[in-house]
Amino acid sequence: MTTPVTLTGEYFIAGERRGCGEVFHAYDPSAGASIKDIGFFTSGDADIDDACAAADAAAVAYADLPLETRAAFLDAIAAHIEALGDALIDRAVRETGLPAARITGERGRTCGQLRLFASEVRDGQWLKLRIDHADPARTPPKPDLRLRMVPLGPVAVFGASNFPLAFSTAGGDTASALAAGCPVVVKGHPAHPGTSELVAGAIVRAAADTGVPAGVFSLLSGTDNAIGAALVADPRIQAVGFTGSRSGGEALMKIAAARPRPIPVYAEMSAINPVILLPAALAARGKALAAGFVGSLTQGSGQFCTNPGLVLAIESAALEAFLAEAGQIVENQPPQTMLTAGIHAAFEKGSAALAATAEVQTIARGVHPTGPHEGRAALFSVSAADWIAHAELQHEVFGAASVVVRCADRDELVTVVAALEGQLTATLQMDEADFDDARAVLPVLERRVGRILANGWPTGVEVGHAINHGGPYPATSDGRSTSVGTLAIDRFVRPVTYQDLPPALLPQLLREGAQAGMVSRIDGEWTF
Amino acid sequence: MTTPVTLTGEYFIAGERRGCGEVFHAYDPSAGASIKDIGFFTSGDADIDDACAAADAAAVAYADLPLETRAAFLDAIAAHIEALGDALIDRAVRETGLPAARITGERGRTCGQLRLFASEVRDGQWLKLRIDHADPARTPPKPDLRLRMVPLGPVAVFGASNFPLAFSTAGGDTASALAAGCPVVVKGHPAHPGTSELVAGAIVRAAADTGVPAGVFSLLSGTDNAIGAALVADPRIQAVGFTGSRSGGEALMKIAAARPRPIPVYAEMSAINPVILLPAALAARGKALAAGFVGSLTQGSGQFCTNPGLVLAIESAALEAFLAEAGQIVENQPPQTMLTAGIHAAFEKGSAALAATAEVQTIARGVHPTGPHEGRAALFSVSAADWIAHAELQHEVFGAASVVVRCADRDELVTVVAALEGQLTATLQMDEADFDDARAVLPVLERRVGRILANGWPTGVEVGHAINHGGPYPATSDGRSTSVGTLAIDRFVRPVTYQDLPPALLPQLLREGAQAGMVSRIDGEWTF
């Protein structure tokens, strides 16, 4: 097929390109300059209204398509994204300052994720098909009850600056919402509008190819937060997916809660992902831990939701050696371009605030930047008592900055863990001699985090069935679900029970015997 | 066993009776007088704090108990409630004005529900055990990921006035939260404090019998809404279960959303449960439909969440005959005592407002009351155009009042359905000749309701696996879940993933081969 890769600067409303009037430009953070080759049009109130109306109008038809069509749509999106070839990679690199290898990997992850959700749609367990047969002889007579999950309706998805593909236009939120049967209206992140336009075109072509109603997808564009605010306030939107800052997520939560009819917001917001270095591991392999830690800290200029911004350890000579080693590696870290001017400025401000805190020692900073918007890795340390006394030390500094908290003993370590806010991840570095310490920490940790790692680093997030990318507030707005992996589909569905409905009117999959091959529950018994 | 059934007027904090100072009295609505035999103590701020602290302190130990212990606890609660014998029935009848047969049935439902959740705890599918095995040969190496659901932590449960057993101290919210592994702090409904005390005593004895930490359950008591507000605001509370009025539910939602760390609120609030009489059914069996409808409308003085407060039908001679027949039955309905003076007053006010609306015709009122707080059934009708034009006609009048909406044709019927707010249920009365009409209505209806019934009445809610008692806003605050049936356990859990955790530190059920007998997902494949 011939794939159009020339940008027009337009956004998409129900499959149609649109745009006129005011434009904004993408920005190349590596060059420190706007990308003037194309202006991107700003979506207006009428566009938001049209996108929501189209999504609402398409909701029933899309929900009623055979699951195979929905799965084919997701597969086709992946194929159309791949067909964009290097044009997509080049544009995303230019708009984010991220290396081509990283963007190429992220494209693979994005397409793999779409295909995983396609296979999940076919799997059907998420439909939670349940049948309780009637018993007319009972007093009172027992009715016939049949339950399935149905889509919530149109979902608003916000593109994330730090993952222009995997958490943006056709990222995890879009893939899981479409898999659940929900139309999606994306508000593209203004830091990568060209990337968004290219991917949106792929989605629109996939819909046309597979006979999916065009209203199932729209892309809104612009730099003003008011666009997203209006989208979340629209009565036709039934749920929100967001990955970004805590302030951004909390603003959307407030709008959603203040609606005449409140809706769920799935915001992945803020985490410092503690790494706990237990004593035996620290003594046995402190040098390797230092290298592994700094590698995780500085990957992608530290711009991961799961970046290890906090290290907890018990005072010891081994800890001093770790700090010296990690400090030396940090000092040799070359600066890396950050995603946007704003993110870079916030990182510098946050790092400076840490450095200026009297109780905080600066262990090391990376090599001084020479280019625009380059982030300079930063490592700090503080005593456990001071960390606990200064709640602001727990705030995320988005980028390659981390604070090592020195604990006097295991009890103080547990006290620090108990003081943690909700986190996406926590990591234990431990050897067998540390297992008793680990047993003291784990129950406290488990109540505060979504994923617990042993002897690894948190910055990789595997896409699969057993992954949770979520966690208690403020890691996310809603710790009851994940935004990565197949369980994410559960966020966008709700149950409906059909009582004594004549077979001719029952949804196909709830008719007698139609559940074969799907995990379902018949009269309380699980069957395939 | 000897079961203490003498009331002391005390509440319970972590298994201990407490109470001093200010008292309030229960009220016998049938007698129209306070029940002076015992004063009930009011819980204070220190009690709320102690209850939350005890729940928080017990959370880890309770979550870590073997599932069998948790199940035995739920079974023991049911046994201890049954052991209260007639003392419980008598007290609940006195405090609610409901007949003994109804309360006896409700006790059976409550104990059955506790035992169903005990068996659900043992079933274990709700743990969503998932394992994705490692693949060290992959580039990058694939980690070992294991996921399970863990309890959210302490849950605040509000007793409901209209179900003193099934939706109160040991009702569905308490049973499902305890089943999920969450400690519970109940705010008892002040309309039935003696019933609450008796049931709370049963829970406390069950905990002691089965070795469950006493902090897992507390009962707070009092008439001031500030008690519940303080409970929901407490940082240790992680979720809220509520059944009651829309204003009450929305007040709790606001408090929960305004916390530094917002929490989920499961409020079952407001529904008018439309019944759609399709033409062929109405023509063929209008008389039987009228009798069935009025029976459902007036059951329990209309004080059910699923009471049919709205009837939709297309203008016809059969509809006129239905209205005449239903009107006549309503006129012969004896008045029935309502739950509280406040509920009765609100019912009379709501009925009077309907009667006073110029566009609304009063079809019939029931027999004039002679006793205190007796509700008088009411049937009204209105044109579809007027119903749509007056949004307030859609507000719930809690009690035996219903509005019949006359639609000109099928299109207008669909228009009315599309204008509906979220509902717990919708009922279609139909014969085969009505199936085409039903097909036009169903997709629109499905987006607005939690349960769709054919040829039945909504006021029975079966407790089972395939039931949904929930629905889009404002039927509930969160249409993604049910408050009745085994799926309710999902409301109180969240996922945690363990990555590369040494087997010795893994939760028992996530160790290799330990999932036998439970529905689980290993490397994407479903197994038992």
DSSP A224-271: -HHHHHHHHH-TT--EEEEES-HHHHHHHHHHHHHSSS---EEEE---
In the block, which residue shows the tokens 């398509």?
A: A65
CA B331 to chain centroid, in Å, comes to: 31
Q: Are B493 and B180 in contact (CB under 8 A)?
A: yes
**Token digits for A448?**
């505060």
pLDDT at residue B499 is higher than 80: yes
CA–CA gap between residue A424 and residue A426 (Å, rounded): 7
Q: Who contacts A185 (Cβ-Cβ below 8 Å, separation ≥6)?
A: A51, A52, A55, A154, A155, A156, A157, A217, A218, A219, A220, A231, A237
DSSP bridge partners of B266: B241
Q: Which residues of A are catalytic?
A: 268, 305
Confidence of residue B407 (pLDDT cuts 50, 70, 90): very high
B125 contacts A497? CB cut-off 8 A: no
Strands B274-277 and B336-337: unpaired
Q: Of A199, A20, A5, A232, which Cα lies nearest the Cα of A106?
A: A199
pLDDT at position A3: 80
Q: Enumerate the residues of chain B whose CB falls inside 8 A of the CB of residue A146.
A: 466
Q: Of A385, A378, A324, which Cα lies nearest the Cα of A359?
A: A385
pLDDT digits 0-9 by tens, A397-432: 999 999 999 999 999 999 999 999 999 999 999 999
pLDDT at residue A2 is higher than 70: no
Confidence of residue B1 (pLDDT cuts 50, 70, 90): low
| Partner-chain residue, chosen from B142, B150, B466, that has the shortest CB–CB distance to A145 | B466
In the block, which residue shows the tokens 């059907």?
A: A124
Q: Which residues of B are catalytic?
A: 268, 305
CB atoms within 10 A of CB B309: 26
Q: Enumerate the residues of chain A whose CB falls inside 8 A of the CB of residue B146.
A: 466
Q: Of A254, A245, A240, A306, which Cα lies nearest the Cα of A491?
A: A240
Q: Who contacts A428 (Cβ-Cβ below 8 Å, separation ≥6)?
A: A276, A278, A434, A438, A441, A442, A452, A453, A454, A455
**Token digits for B335?**
């008045």
Q: Who contacts B228 (Cβ-Cβ below 8 Å, separation ≥6)?
A: B156, B158, B187, B252
Q: What kind and span of H or E run contains A501?
A: none
In the block, which residue shows the tokens 């280019």?
A: A371
pLDDT digits 0-9 by tens, A183-223: 999 999 999 999 999 999 999 999 999 999 999 999 999 99
CA–CA gap between residue A314 and residue B36 (Å, rounded): 62
CA–CA gap between residue B230 and residue B48 (Å, rounded): 7
**Token digits for B209?**
């019998």
Q: Which of A465, A476, A506, A511 to mutate to test the interface with B (most CBs of B within 10 A)?
A: A465
The stretch A341-363 carries a mean pLDDT of 97
Q: Of B259, B214, B213, which Cα lies nearest the Cα of B240?
A: B259
Confidence of residue A391 (pLDDT cuts 50, 70, 90): very high
pLDDT at position A69: 98
| Partner-chain residue, chosen from B132, B153, B497, that has the shortest CB–CB distance to A451 | B497
Radius of gyration for the alpha carbons in chain A, expressed in angstroms and rounded: 25
The answer to whether ipTM exceeds 0.95 is yes
Distance from CA of A80 to the nearest CA of B (A): 25
pLDDT digits 0-9 by tens, B323-364: 999 999 999 999 999 999 999 999 999 999 999 999 999 999
CA–CA gap between residue B488 and residue B172 (Å, rounded): 8
Q: Of B252, B185, B224, which Cα lies nearest the Cα of B40?
A: B224
The stretch A165-193 carries a mean pLDDT of 98
pLDDT at residue A41 is higher than 90: yes
Distance from CA of A413 to the nearest CA of B (A): 18
pLDDT digits 0-9 by tens, B36-72: 999 999 999 999 999 999 999 999 999 999 999 999 9
Q: Are B308 and B106 in contact (CB under 8 A)?
A: no
Q: Of B146, B152, B359, B140, which Cα lies nearest the Cα of B266?
A: B152
Q: Of B210, B187, B452, which Cα lies nearest the Cα of A495?
A: B452
Alpha helix segments (H runs only) across B211-337: 225-233, 246-258, 279-298, 317-331
Q: Who contacts A345 (Cβ-Cβ below 8 Å, separation ≥6)?
A: none
* DSSP summary character for residue B142: B
CA–CA gap between residue A469 and residue A176 (Å, rounded): 13
Q: Which of A480, A500, A506 to mutate to test the interface with B (most CBs of B within 10 A)?
A: A480
Q: Are A151 and A182 in contact (CB under 8 A)?
A: yes
CA–CA gap between residue A491 and residue B193 (Å, rounded): 38
CA B294 to chain centroid, in Å, comes to: 23
CB atoms within 10 A of CB B176: 33
**Token digits for B78?**
């049911």
**Token digits for B277?**
């009489």
pLDDT at position B2: 62
**Token digits for B192?**
């039935």
Distance from CA of B397 to the nearest CA of A (A): 20
In the block, which residue shows the tokens 């019944």?
A: B275
Q: Are B394 and B420 in contact (CB under 8 A)?
A: yes
B264 contacts A443? CB cut-off 8 A: no
- For chain B, what is the mean pLDDT? 97
Predicted structure pTM score: 0.97
Beta strand segments in B161-293, E: 184-187, 217-220, 239-243, 265-268, 274-277
Q: Of B489, B469, B26, which Cα lies nearest the Cα of B222?
A: B26
**Token digits for A14?**
């129900």
Confidence of residue B20 (pLDDT cuts 50, 70, 90): confident
pLDDT at position A361: 98
The stretch B178-183 carries a mean pLDDT of 98
pLDDT at residue A504 is higher than 80: yes
Q: What is the greatest pairwise CA distance in chain A?
A: 82
Cis preceding-peptide flag for B474 (omega within 30 of 0): yes
CA–CA gap between residue A454 and residue B502 (Å, rounded): 7
- For chain A, what is the mean pLDDT? 97
Q: Are B362 and B355 in contact (CB under 8 A)?
A: yes
Q: Are B187 and B154 in contact (CB under 8 A)?
A: no
The region, left, alpha or beta by phi > 0 then psi within -120 to 50, assigned to residue B520 is beta
CA neighbours closer than 13 Å in the CB half-sphere of residue A130: 22
**Token digits for A374?**
């380059």
Q: Enumerate the residues of chain A whose CB falls inside 8 A of the CB of residue B62.
A: none
- 3-state SS of B383-451 is EHHHHHHCHHHHCCCCCCEEEEEEECCHHHHHHHHHHCCCEEEEEEECCHHHHHHHHHHHHHHHCCEEE
CA neighbours closer than 13 Å in the CB half-sphere of residue B219: 33
* DSSP summary character for residue A5: -
CA–CA gap between residue A307 and residue A310 (Å, rounded): 9
pLDDT at residue A124 is higher than 80: yes
Q: Which of A496, A512, A515 to mutate to test the interface with B (most CBs of B within 10 A)?
A: A496
CA–CA gap between residue A48 and residue B349 (Å, rounded): 41
pLDDT at residue A1 is higher than 90: no
- Dihedral (CA of A282, A287, A292, A298) sign: positive
